[in-house]
Structure 1
Amino acid sequence: MRHMKKILTVLLAAVMLICMSVSAVWAEGEEVAQQTTADNMSFDVIFAIDGSGSMKKSDALKLRLTAGRLFTEMTYSNTSRAGFVQFTNIIMDSQGLTDLSTEDSKASFRDRLSGLQDSVKGSWDTDISLGLTQALNLLKEGDSFNGDRNPMIILLSDGNTDLPNGPRTVEESNAELTGTLSEAASLGVPIYSIGLNYDGKLDVDYMQNIANQTGGAFYNITTATDFNKYMTDIFGNVADGDLTGLNPAYIDGRFVTDFVIDNGSVLMANIVILTDKGVSDPQLIDPTGAVVPLDADHGVIVSTDTSDENKVSTYTILKIMYPVQGAWKVSVKGEADDAVQVNLLTTYDISFKLLNSRDPIAGNDINIYGKLVRGDENITDSNLLSGAMAICTIMDNKGNIVGENLPMTYNEEKHVFICKTNLEKSGNYYVTAHLEGKDGSFSKEAAQYQLSIGRAKLTVSGRPDVSMWCNPIKTKASVDISQHVKSESLAELNCSIEDNGNNIVTADYNKDTGMLNITPLRTGTGYLKLIFSDAYGQSAELTVFVTVKSSWIWFIVAFAILAVIVALIAGIMKATKPVLKDSVTVELSLPPMLANLTPSPATLAMPAKKSEVILGKLIQGDTFAQSTLGNPIMQAGLTTLVNKIKLVACKGGTVTVKILPKTPGMIMINNQNVDNAKGISYPMNKGDRIAIQFSTDGNSISTVTLQLGGEGGWDGNPEPYPNPWDNSPSDNPFGNDNFGSPFGGGGVGNFGDPFGGNTGNSGNPFGGAGGSYGSQPGGSNMGGFDGGQPGNNSADDFGTGNMAGNPNDFGNPSQDDFGSANDNAGENNNFDFGGNSSDNGFGGFI
């Protein structure tokens, strides 16, 4: 008996939901007429009932047939119809759509369902496709698709397609099923599949697929505890009502149940009482405490199950039409140990209606309004509207979705839901909307609404001004037409372009990008006239003014800017570039044959504010230096050299002496050979000296000595001379010897000593080796030798060695009164007039 009540509960709820569901109705050219729940119960239902032998076990009490009878009890509209088909692997029985508008017709249909029997041969074969195809045919035969009815199929089965005995294969049946489901979906026929899955062998995927493909729902019935779970889900997704499980209390032999009608928009409250042992004597008390007579005159209809297969009434239904808001009470007599269940199914006398703002135009903002109504009255009940959510979907006239699940915002002041959108093209659109009450208390589908969008007027605005450049460089320009032309679709506009006759530009319009592209031809001013037209005969003109300028101005400006930049850079470089500041002393040392031309050193001031100078030009520019050095330089063949020597200022007051590349002749600096091809740079600090040896033939060597900064005596040193007789190596006015004797001293004197000295560059006409006039290899009138034998390493009265190179009477390796021994023969002792490695009044050497 509990199985009976469990199945009965599910089937009852499913049938009630289906009976209350609302289908959309299409309309052309205007808003679809809205229907209340009562108006929309003109439904056509076909029950596809599995009659195979397995159902004797799954549904021994034939509760699937009871579902059909419940359906007839739940009908409210006088225009509802029902039919059935019973199948195994063949059609066992069927009845087309039957009018349920009278009690007699309802009783007749109930009797037909009650008389159905399962397969007498015990066939366990099942061909679900066969039953569904026949059910769909019955709907078509009953003209269920004329636009104002709600066709549906309810499939009740405990298994899947199984055809061991034919007459066709499972594959053939499944192929037919695919076509049947596709046709049902296209006709808008949902199939609600109810699976009796008590043995766990139901092909759930198979049954689920049937419901999914047609927009129906699948209910997998396994245990009684599934009831609330599935009912909540069903009402949330399919029904326009609310199912609530109530808790009856057993008091004084009666099951007493309280329930609440929480708003005034309920069309019908169905009190469904399920029982195992049967109940009787139903009573109903309204919110005022008054007992309500149970008759149609007072808006209450009572139905009970009195089928032959059930010895007791398995259900009692109280249908209360338009119940007032408030707390109600219902009670029935029954046995205390009966498992009575009471459920409240409410359906609402409300509908969700769609409207739109007046005269919507393509491209403009459009408001789509949704409001909850009862008849022509707007519902403002906060109990219903508070927390409700609404969405809408928009399709074009080809069925393409242009906006899906668009949110509709609730306006509390006007009690409407608003969707703000924008449609770019004119034409007819179709809007559907869904409203969900708070916590799923109810749901409403708005009937499809036709939204007619008017054509946007073709207009132009603004005056584009375009400035361009031409000759020698051309710059193209583009105008975004969408900023100046308003139309339903720029891509569909035709555009012709007229020139004012100046022919200073060419232009073309790109429909895809909406851009006007302009190319300059020559300088000047003019305008373009653009004439736009659409497919609706509208046209508009847009004038574009054009100025084309010569781009030479930019070249001039750029050149001027570049010149300024170069001048600035040059100025900065010049301001920061090192300049020559110090003087330079130039001294010449000539070969013996030109010794008589040897000039005095000349100190030259280097040119102020210049960073470099050629030595030759520096000499030429100084009158004294030119008169002093000019002729010796020319005679010694040094002209090329001095014109290849460049003095370059460096940071920190230093100077670099550069011997320019490819200077002809042999060049040495401080006795170091120079690569003529590459030249050389030699840095000098203030006070430094550099000796540049030069020869054109490799034999006659001339020397140009440079000293940076200051003037000196014979040695060119700028230092003061506090003590002319001291032993400094550089402060002797007559010779730069190691010991500073004014009239003598040995070697390394740079300029020699007028009366003696060794290895002086200029020598001494009266004696001493290494001088120009008295040294080896050059001879002297008074001493030395011109060549030949080197003579003994001794000196005579007047010098060293004679012409023949033989030692004289006084030339032995010792010192006498008037001479000094040479380097190799001298003694380390001193005499009156000479000595070795010591100072003497008239001579001496190292």
Structure 2
Amino acid sequence: MKLQRYAYMALALLLLVMAVPGGVFAADAATDTKIDAVLAADVSTSMNESDVNKVSYEAMKMFVDMASVQGDKIGVVAYTDQILREKALLKINNAGDKKDLKTFIDQLTRGPYTDVAVGLSEAVKVLESGAEQGHVPLIVLLTDGNNSLNPGKTQADSDKVLGEAVQKAKDKGIPVYTIGLNADGKLNKDKLESVSKETGGKLFVTSSAEDLPKILSEIYASHLKLKVVPLNGFTANGQFQDVKVTIPNGSVLEANISIMSGKPVEAKLLDPKGKEQNIPSDKIVYTSSNAYSLIKILNPAQGDWTLKIKGVPQEKIDINLVYNYDVQVVLDAQLPKTAKAGDSIAIKAHLESGGQKAADAGLYKNAKASLVVTDLDTKQASEAPLTLTDKGIEGSWKVADSHAYEVKVKVESANFTRESAPVSVSAKSGGASSSGEASGDKGVNWVKIGSWIAGLVVLLAAALFGLAFWKKANKGFFGQLVIEIKDEETGERTNPQYKKLSGFKGKVQLHQLLSLAPEFAETKGIVFKPGPNDTLLLFNESACTIEKGGRVFDAAKGKELKKNDRIRVTVPNIQKSVSLEYLK
């Protein structure tokens, strides 16, 4: 019955394709953009001097708090010259998920040595294993200086790993935002700048850990093409002091107000009508820590809000605002795929909000529109102004040379920057002009269309036969595994690590959950697969022994693990054991 249902779906898709001229699909523009972010933090002992108060931890927690109430995914990698702690990408569904992430960050410890390559390499792996389609990926890489390597490792070894990680991030479109905490003046700025430049990220350098919360908020805003709006900061006098917060239009999904102060503050909030709001409430999220307070207003009303803040006398208070917009730029009509030098092509576009053409004139007010054209042959980009009114965006583009181009429309205001999906246009020799292509479409090439449809039918048939196998291989997991490692010779245990399984599909090796550490290579043969009714199926093809309740069992043909089941894996060659507990 399932196969039959998929067949009907495929047939419906085929009919839809046949009904679309030229087989062109116009995908819905993504609205509320979600992120997949990994925070890779240097936790070497040198941070005890450069970040005495662990402000870097507070900065990471503020990044978590700035994330959307639902949908974003965030992971954490704590590194020295090895991975000390790691939290796989966690999808934020509620306040409890954010609390889990912040608790994990608070529990991070520090250790000797530093190797930036280890942190970046692991961050890329975390994104590879847990990224979600449609989400925008990024890595934030924080370090306080140069590498300080274990005597058993050379700088050449580190450089090789770093180069491979940078190339992989570049190939997968993962920008790396690097933060250099240059407290001792010895930061290798050039290497960090190279990492960011190669991957499309950005370098931030500061000599004070106190700047980290602000930097993390700038990275969050920059990555989502938002802008940080500085509000009027002040020196506290012990009384409530007013700050105006302007919500410019009705398309703001979230207004994130970050209040940075070294000491606790008290906050009140009045809406544009002067009515005091309950903090927190179903529309206002409030979080605070030792270094910041954050107020997130959901779907705020347009107008001037009043923020009242009471701080400790003489304490300096900085306030920033980041809007999260539901706005996209959409072309009104598909541009021609081919043209010729000298052609003039009309450009028309508009803003959308909530999947509909934006009717809010405030979105267009004081905004600027431009056409961004990249010559793919010369790699040169140019930008030309377009006319923007509350009715839309208009202009034209004259094709300069017989080259290949990428074209997009950009709209920039004081609060956001948005770009349309890029369109490729070829003006290479032999390509028809846009007008010629239109005139050549009078006759329909039914032979070509027929062969195209026949090919599509064959592909769909093959896809249907492979669908059942694909579904089995990509079945999702549920729950998480809590992992502790014990040194059987010394009795020492690591802190528990919580590994979310939702980022894996089909199967996952225990070695992957152990961050692919070379000493645990024997655990490659221990594999987990999704079982019925949200259980786990455990398969053991390794030399390791597995116990449950003190009894060794054979899992060569599979063993079911249920909620709260605990097992112990003994890795014989290194005199260590791994304890795992399955939680839902």
Mark yes or no: TM-score above 0.5. Answer: yes
Amino acid at match of 1:393: V
Offset at residue 191 of structure 1 (A): 0.6
Distance in 2 of aligned mates of 1:233 and 1:339 = 20
| 1:131 corresponds to which of 104, 109, 119 | 119
Matches within 5 A, 1:508-587: none
Amino acid at match of 1:373: E
The answer on whether the counterparts of 2:244 and 2:306 sit within 8 Å (CA) in structure 1 is yes
| 2:33 corresponds to which of 34, 37, 40 | 40
Distance in 2 of aligned mates of 1:158 and 1:48 = 12
1:570 maps to what in 2? none
1:392 and 2:372 are equivalent in the alignment = yes
Query: 1:216-237, CA deviations, whole angstroms, 9 ceiling, x for partnerless residues?
Result: 1111012599799979986678
Offset at residue 371 of structure 1 (A): 2.2
The answer on whether the counterparts of 2:372 and 2:408 sit within 8 Å (CA) in structure 1 is yes
Matches within 5 A, 1:456-467: none
Distance in 1 of aligned mates of 2:50 and 2:307 = 34
1:239 maps to what in 2? 225
SS in 1 for 2:332: strand
SS in 2 for 1:239: coil
Offset at residue 243 of structure 1 (A): 2.0
SS in 2 for 1:432: strand
2:170 maps to what in 1? 185
Query: 1:760-798, CA deviations, whole angstroms, 9 ceiling, x for partnerless residues?
Result: xxxxxxxxxxxxxxxxxxxxxxxxxxxxxxxxxxxxxxx
The answer on whether the counterparts of 1:273 and 1:317 sit within 8 Å (CA) in structure 2 is yes
1:742 maps to what in 2? none
Distance in 1 of aligned mates of 2:331 and 2:431 = 26
1:356 and 2:329 are equivalent in the alignment = no
Identify the range of structure 1 (212-221 vs 154-163) with the bigger mean alpha-carbon deviation. Answer: 154-163
1:148 maps to what in 2? 134
Query: 1:52-98, CA deviations, whole angstroms, 9 ceiling, x for partnerless residues?
Result: 11111111222222222222212215222111222212222222112
1:434 and 2:410 are equivalent in the alignment = yes
Cα 1:67–1:233, aligned 2, differ >3 Å: closer, same or farther?
Answer: closer
2:286 maps to what in 1? 302
1:118 and 2:95 are equivalent in the alignment = no
Distance in 1 of aligned mates of 2:335 and 2:253 = 32
The answer on whether the counterparts of 2:261 and 2:292 sit within 8 Å (CA) in structure 1 is yes
Query: 1:686-729, CA deviations, whole angstroms, 9 ceiling, x for partnerless residues?
Result: xxxxxxxxxxxxxxxxxxxxxxxxxxxxxxxxxxxxxxxxxxxx
Cα 1:422–1:52, aligned 2, differ >3 Å: closer, same or farther?
Answer: same
Matches within 5 A, 1:125-524: 125-142=113-130, 144=131, 147-163=133-149, 165-223=150-208, 239-248=225-234, 253-280=239-266, 282-297=267-282, 299-305=283-289, 313-356=290-333, 362-363=339-340, 365-375=344-354, 376-379=356-359, 381=361, 384-386=364-366, 388-393=368-373, 404-412=381-389, 414-422=391-399, 431-437=407-413, 440-449=414-423
The answer on whether the counterparts of 1:271 and 1:343 sit within 8 Å (CA) in structure 2 is yes
The answer on whether the counterparts of 2:249 and 2:362 sit within 8 Å (CA) in structure 1 is no
Offset at residue 283 of structure 1 (A): 1.3
Amino acid at match of 2:397: K
1:96 and 2:82 are equivalent in the alignment = no
The answer on whether the counterparts of 2:176 and 2:201 sit within 8 Å (CA) in structure 1 is yes
SS in 1 for 2:229: strand
Query: 1:722-751, CA deviations, whole angstroms, 9 ceiling, x for partnerless residues?
Result: xxxxxxxxxxxxxxxxxxxxxxxxxxxxxx
Cα 1:262–1:129, aligned 2, differ >3 Å: closer, same or farther?
Answer: same
Offset at residue 405 of structure 1 (A): 2.6
Offset at residue 157 of structure 1 (A): 0.8
SS in 2 for 1:71: helix
SS in 2 for 1:418: strand
Distance in 2 of aligned mates of 1:304 and 1:82 = 19
Distance in 2 of aligned mates of 1:94 and 1:314 = 24
Offset at residue 173 of structure 1 (A): 0.9
**Structure possessing the higher relative contact order (Cα contacts under 8 Å, 6 or more residues apart):** 2
SS in 2 for 1:65: helix
1:86 maps to what in 2? 78
Paired residues in the alignment total: 412
The answer on whether the counterparts of 1:432 and 1:446 sit within 8 Å (CA) in structure 2 is yes
Amino acid at match of 1:90: Q
Distance in 2 of aligned mates of 1:403 and 1:127 = 36
Distance in 1 of aligned mates of 2:339 and 2:187 = 53
Offset at residue 333 of structure 1 (A): 3.3
The answer on whether the counterparts of 2:59 and 2:212 sit within 8 Å (CA) in structure 1 is no
Distance in 1 of aligned mates of 2:369 and 2:199 = 26
Cα 1:358–1:431, aligned 2, differ >3 Å: closer, same or farther?
Answer: closer
Offset at residue 444 of structure 1 (A): 1.6
SS in 1 for 2:422: strand
1:18 maps to what in 2? none
- State the TM-score, normalizing by the size of structure 1: 0.44
Distance in 1 of aligned mates of 2:55 and 2:109 = 12
Offset at residue 248 of structure 1 (A): 4.4
2:491 maps to what in 1? none
Which residues of structure 1 form unaligned runs of 5+?
Answer: 1-27, 306-312, 460-485, 489-535, 538-846
Cα 1:264–1:407, aligned 2, differ >3 Å: closer, same or farther?
Answer: same
The answer on whether the counterparts of 1:181 and 1:213 sit within 8 Å (CA) in structure 2 is yes
Percent identity over the alignment is 26
Cα 1:101–1:216, aligned 2, differ >3 Å: closer, same or farther?
Answer: same
Query: 1:375-418, CA deviations, whole angstroms, 9 ceiling, x for partnerless residues?
Result: 312356367443514232357xxx75798334241144743143
Cα 1:207–1:92, aligned 2, differ >3 Å: closer, same or farther?
Answer: same
- State the TM-score, normalizing by the size of structure 2: 0.62
SS in 2 for 1:57: helix
2:518 maps to what in 1? none
Offset at residue 169 of structure 1 (A): 0.5
The answer on whether the counterparts of 1:248 and 1:258 sit within 8 Å (CA) in structure 2 is no
Identify the range of structure 1 (223-232 vs 239-248) with the bigger mean alpha-carbon deviation. Answer: 223-232
Amino acid at match of 1:74: M
Cα 1:268–1:162, aligned 2, differ >3 Å: closer, same or farther?
Answer: same
Query: 1:664-700, CA deviations, whole angstroms, 9 ceiling, x for partnerless residues?
Result: xxxxxxxxxxxxxxxxxxxxxxxxxxxxxxxxxxxxx
SS in 2 for 1:293: coil
Amino acid at match of 2:90: T
Offset at residue 148 of structure 1 (A): 0.8
Higher helix share: 2
Instruction: Look at both structures and tell me which one has the larger radius of gyration over its CA atoms.
Output: 1
Cα 1:95–1:171, aligned 2, differ >3 Å: closer, same or farther?
Answer: same
Distance in 2 of aligned mates of 1:319 and 1:263 = 16
Distance in 2 of aligned mates of 1:232 and 1:52 = 23
Offset at residue 445 of structure 1 (A): 2.7
1:73 maps to what in 2? 65
Considering only aligned residues, what root-mean-square deviation do their CA atoms show, in Å? Answer: 3.8
Cα 1:91–1:435, aligned 2, differ >3 Å: closer, same or farther?
Answer: same
SS in 2 for 1:447: coil
Offset at residue 130 of structure 1 (A): 1.2
